[in-house]
């Protein structure tokens, strides 16, 4: 398709991805608040639902633009993958916050706070990296630094989860306490899953800058 090289590229994808990344960072900031305190948790979970719906709407706009655009600024498969992985990240983060409220877990736990903090830092790095795609040829090294930070944080999340699960059932005195600990353990897993999704987004970014940098 030699002709495609001479046609104008539709640049709206960069704006949409930036919007999606900011939304993901906002979701994880709310998750951090939900995990930190059980005060006003129901209102915050409703906000998470609203933000998740906004993320779905952004993803729909990306796919609509992809279906109607002849020449794209990035490979079509990369656009599709980045949209899907960002959507999955938001879904997993929202699920963690929702599950915490659903189980009516009181107070907080240090591993949950650590994992929520790690997740929020990952999405903050992604929100800084994704706008750089508009000039990926010049900003490849900056994108790479953010990608490496997301990977580092995911390793920290793995260590946090392993340590939390190792002592999860120590000194559990009764059945209600056991059920509570099981639910906290499930929450830790959900938060760690979300950090994996953030790493999946970083992997797509890495693939993009390797091909276009």
Q: Domain limits of the chain?
A: 2-212
Query: What does the pLDDT read at residue 10?
Result: 58
Closest CA to 14 of 68, 55, 74: 74
* Mean pLDDT of the chain, nearest integer: 92
The pTM of this model reads 0.92
188, 111 in Cβ contact below 8 A?
yes
pLDDT, greater one: 212 or 14: 14
Cα atoms in the Cβ-side hemisphere of radius 13 Å centred on 67: 6
Percent of the chain past pLDDT 70, that is, above it, reads 95
User: What number is the average pLDDT over the span 136-153?
Assistant: 94
pLDDT tops 80 at residue 47: yes
Cβ atoms 117, 28 nearer than 8 A? no
How far apart CA 34 and CA 113 sit, in angstroms, is 9
Q: What HEC string does 115-179 produce?
A: HHHHHHHHHHHHHHHHHHHHHHHHHHHHHHHHHHHHHHHHHHHHHHHHHHHHCCCCCCCCHHHHH
- Per-residue pLDDT at 176 exceeds 90: no
Is CATH 1.20.58.220 the classification given to domain 2-212? Answer: yes
Name the DSSP letter for residue 40.
T
Q: Which two tokens stand for residue 103?
A: 């189980």
d(CA 197, CA 154): 9
Q: How far is CA 170 from CA 109, 161, 190, 208, in A?
A: 15, 15, 21, 45
Q: Shortest CA distance to 211 belongs to which of 143, 152, 124?
A: 143
Instruction: Read off the pLDDT band of 7 (50, 70, 90).
Output: very low
Q: Comparing 106 with 124, which gets the higher pLDDT?
A: 124
Could you read off the pLDDT of 59-101 as tens digits, one per residue? 999 999 999 888 889 999 999 999 999 999 999 999 999 999 8
CA distance linking residue 90 with residue 138, whole number of Å:
29
């Amino acid at each position: 398709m030699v002709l495609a090289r001479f046609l104008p590229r539709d640049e709206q994808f960069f704006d949409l991805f930036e919007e999606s990344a900011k939304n993901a960072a906002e979701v994880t900031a709310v998750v951090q608040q939900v995990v930190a305190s059980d005060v006003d948790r129901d209102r915050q979970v409703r906000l998470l639902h609203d933000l998740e719906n906004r993320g779905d709407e952004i993803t729909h706009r990306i796919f609509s633009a992809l279906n109607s655009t002849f020449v794209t600024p990035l490979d079509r498969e990369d656009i599709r993958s980045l949209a899907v992985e960002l959507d999955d990240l938001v879904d997993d983060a929202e699920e963690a916050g929702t599950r915490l409220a659903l189980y009516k877990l009181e107070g907080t736990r240090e591993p949950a706070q650590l994992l929520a903090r790690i997740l929020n830092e990952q999405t903050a790095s992604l929100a800084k990296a994704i706008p750089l795609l508009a000039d990926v040829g010049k900003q490849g090294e900056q994108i790479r630094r953010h990608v490496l930070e997301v990977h580092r944080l995911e390793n920290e999340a793995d260590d946090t989860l392993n340590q939390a699960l190792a002592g999860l059932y120590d000194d559990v005195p009764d059945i209600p306490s056991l059920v509570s600990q099981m639910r906290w353990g499930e929450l830790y897993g959900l938060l760690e899953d979300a950090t994996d999704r953030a790493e999946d987004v970083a992997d797509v970014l890495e693939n993009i800058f390797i091909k276009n940098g």
